[in-house]
């Protein structure tokens, strides 16, 4: 893992594990943000399924695990901003 130096001059270990996902996060969030404004289903499909599917189609180079991590990060950020989750009744633990 990489490390970086804090302003006090103390080296800290880099905690982020997915820099390739961080690079596409803003675009990915823009693609699925509208799903957080719906409640249960969209065209008969669960919202979480559609979000995962849309991200996978937009970024076919990502693994299934990468897609889950990315959608989960977007969902956590949306919750922090006072929004709802994709899965009704499912709470994600703070990260």
Given this model, what pLDDT does residue 89 score?
39
Query: 53: number of CA atoms within 13 Å, CB side?
Result: 8
Q: How confident is the model at residue 27 (pLDDT cuts 50, 70, 90)?
A: very high
Question: pTM of the prediction?
Answer: 0.66
Given this model, what pLDDT does residue 94 score?
39
DSSP 7: T
Examine the pLDDT at 58 and tell me if it is beyond 80.
Answer: yes
Given this model, what pLDDT does residue 17 score?
78
The residue with greater pLDDT, 61 or 90, is: 61
């Amino acid at each position: 893992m990489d490390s970086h130096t804090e302003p006090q001059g103390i080296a800290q270990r880099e905690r982020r594990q997915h820099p390739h996902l961080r690079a596409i996060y803003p675009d990915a969030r823009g693609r699925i943000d509208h799903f957080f404004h719906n409640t249960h289903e969209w065209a008969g499909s669960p919202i979480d399924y559609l979000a995962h599917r849309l991200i996978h189609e937009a970024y076919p180079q990502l693994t299934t695990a990468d897609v889950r991590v990315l959608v989960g990060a977007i969902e956590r950020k949306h919750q922090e901003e006072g929004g709802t989750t994709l899965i009704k009744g499912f709470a994600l633990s703070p990260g």
